[in-house]
Amino acid sequence: MGRVAVIFLLLIGTQSPSQTVRASKLRALFKIPVKELKADGYLAATWRFAKVEEMRAFQEEEGLELTSDSGVMIQKNAALAWRELFFEGDLTMSFEVWAASEDGELRVILGAPGDRVNGVLAFFNGTIGDEKGRHCAAVKVVNGEPGEIRGALTVDLKPRTWHRIGFEVKAGTLTLIANGKRITARGVKVPRTFATTLYPAANRVHVRDLEIAGHVNLASLRKLVGGAKAASRSHPRNRGGGALAALRNEERRAVLDEILKVRKRSEPRDPGAAERQIRERNLAVGLINRATKAWRDDHFDVAIAELTKADANWFHPGAIAYLKGIIQFDARELDHALESLGEAAKARKKYVPALRAMALVHIEREDYDRAERVLAKARSMERKNGYTMAFLALAQMARGKLPQAQTSLRIAKDQMPSSDGVKLLLTHVQRLRSRPRWSAVHKKSNRWYAVETNVGGGVAADIAQDLERYRTFLEQALPLGIKQRRPVRVWVFDSQDEYLSFTEVLIRRAESSLGCYVPAIKTFLFFHTLDEEKNREVLYHEAFHHYLHQKTRRPPIWLDEGLAEYYGGTTFTSDGRATPGAIHHNRLIDLKDWLAKNRAIPLKALMHMAPATFMSPETAAVHYATSWAFVHWIKHAAPADAKKTFDTYVTSVLRKKPATAAWSASFAKLDVGKLDEQLRAYVTGVLFKKL
């Protein structure tokens, strides 16, 4: 029978004093007539208060405008992302859910501040043992993995039918409800303060008549509403990544059209030979078309295989090599891409598209000097090509040369007035040169940082103080002799959607990040949460990157991230004493998963890894985890020869030696396979015991 899955995840943990979340004094009843639940988790809804007095109290405390229908100012057709709405004490939440198929799934996460790996997973119509579907159950979660079942009952949730779903939290006890049936999770204690997050795990899931009764935290409600406003101004076409994709697709379509203009050959007099020639030509063109289709579907190996079969003699010199190169670029095989594109550039005189593609590879590797030299060569061959100027603007944006990038894009626009990609990039540069759209700004500066935020309550002063204390510690723990001339800007957004709305102008939208440093505008960007521990981790991690990059602009990425993870976990006592190297439980869970699959990352491969490979979405988590674990081992348990070798490597990097030279002067002299074994023993024998 088909199934609709509705999942509740409760991350139950202890609260530290710094994680206490202030609750509203109001016992408010919220009724939300949901119009649409989108696949990315956004609700089109109006948040209404049960009483006008409650609405006015929210307005008075948070200073937000309100609609005329007793609701919070969520604009018409706005998208509301339900993230971390905090409650305290008892809570009742119910809604109706409908899914088009048995794969339809909706999740509601309840999390205690600070603990993101332990708790209870309660699900509807999931699998219990070998028996599938038609169940409502609560399952204990330990270190991110489902464990002991805490209770189950049979519930028939058919697809394409509305079902009433909900839960109650009373005196710390959790009860799940489905179509009138109830189950209490045994042995589960919900903390007094917890957050709720709602999102679908599959397409075509609909929600309506959402009702909540509980003591809501007004600051978290402010963040949710402010995020809805920001999201309503956002559109995928306006994102930096979308602009880059539009530009590249325009250029590649033009190049592909030229490639598919098959070279003419002298027609043979023999009719049979002429027919064979037509078949060969059609076969070659068909292989190119199949390759481009596989490429669009991200089947890169298939695309390369089809190109290899194609007879290159039917196309202009360098065409097949060029296509291989840009496909290898999309597959993150940057070395192979450069090799193929170099072959294309040699095969055909003044083959400008190959040079532009080579420049993109250099930009991806953050080698902007080389990218600009290649583009200068391309421009000398073809002066009036708007794509070359647009690609030059990309390199200039990455280096923070925004006025020059704006000039380059204006030239490109004059040369290609119909290009959507150029227009979007020009808009993004103009946006980067502006400030966040904040109605109120709170500021606090010190010697190293100038904090600005739209979050009140002394947040600017607290963040500035935290960063100053951390920077003082770094100067002592890892002295680099840096003379910083002026404070670096730190912009802290009130909600995640405000942060994403601003960072959409970046070439890569910061969708999965909690914060980032943007060299183009020399500014830290963060969003503020109600979890102070998480805020500090993100601040310290990014502040370390900025500190190190002032000494060496492009350190090896494993070292850059490994040190940032290690020092980003620094904690301070009340009297200011620092302890670096806090345990990252999520990183350990990633390592445990990969080791269980016998897919550990060898240190030699990690240390020679290019940034694009390191950041590959499929493997980035284990790359971060391995880098952090290796630095942790070096700092806490490695033998003297390994520590000395690590210090030699770091010294070479700080002297701006290439990564290969740093490797040759240090780890190349050791048995790296033995280091792999020692690291694995430390992770399994020491770190895993911290879980």
Domains and CATH numbers, the chain: 5-232 (2.60.120.200), 238-432 (1.25.40.10), 438-531 (3.40.30.160), 552-691 (1.10.390)
From 130-134, 320-324, 478-482, 659-663, the region with the lowest mean pLDDT: 130-134
Beta bridge partners of 67: none
Closest by CA to 145, choosing from 691, 607, 628, 661, is 691
440-449, 591-600, 632-641: least confidently modelled range: 591-600
Is pLDDT above 70 for 60? Answer: no
What is the spatial distance between Cα 322 and Cα 304, in angstroms, rounded to a whole number? 11
User: What's the pLDDT at 144?
Assistant: 53
The confidence score (pLDDT) of residue 2 equals 42
The yes-or-no verdict on residue 559 having pLDDT over 90 is: yes
For the chain, percent of residues with pLDDT exceeding 90: 33
pLDDT of residue 210: 72
The CA dihedral of 567, 546, 495, 467, to the nearest 10 degrees, is 60
With a pLDDT cut of 70, the percent of the chain lying above it is: 73
pLDDT at 105 over 90: no
Evaluate if residue 283 carries a pLDDT over 60: yes
Model's pTM, two decimal places?
A: 0.74
More confident position, 464 or 172: 464
Beta strands 163-170; 48-49: pairing state: unpaired
The pLDDT tens digits for 9-52 are: 444 443 333 333 333 333 444 444 454 444 444 454 445 555 55
Asked if the model's pLDDT at residue 423 lies above 80, the reply is yes
**pLDDT tens, residue by residue, 501-530:** 777 666 554 545 778 888 778 899 999 988
Q: Determine the pLDDT at residue 142.
A: 55
| 409: pLDDT strictly greater than 70 | yes
Question: Does residue 471 carry a pLDDT above 60?
Answer: yes
- The three-state DSSP-derived secondary structure of 31-58 is EECCCEECCCCEEECCCEECCHHHHHHH
Look at residue 477 in the predicted model and tell me its pLDDT. 95
* Per-residue pLDDT at 29: 44
Does pLDDT of 448 surpass 90? yes
In 3D space, the residue among 9, 139, 117, 120 whose CA is nearest the CA of residue 593 turns out to be 117
Amino acid 20: pLDDT: 33
pLDDT (0 to 100) of residue 65: 45
Calculate the average pLDDT of the chain. 78
d(CA 666, CA 461): 43
CA 642 to CA 476: how far, in whole Å? 22
Tell which wins on pLDDT, 409 or 274.
Answer: 409
Question: pLDDT-based confidence at 662, cuts 50/70/90?
Answer: very high
CA distance to 290, 323, 326, 353, per residue, from 296 (Å): 10, 13, 12, 19
pLDDT recorded at residue 69: 41
As to burial, measured by CB atoms within 10 angstroms (0-12 exposed, 13-18 middle, 19+ buried), residue 316 is middle
For 112, residues 6+ apart whose C-beta sits below 8 A from its C-beta are 11, 12, 13, 14, 15, 119, 191, 193, 194, 195
Question: Is pLDDT at 232 greater than 60 in this prediction?
Answer: no
Instruction: Tell which wins on pLDDT, 538 or 331.
Output: 538
Mean pLDDT over 440-462 rounds to 92
Among 28-37, 325-334, 536-545, 663-672, the range scoring the smallest mean pLDDT is: 28-37
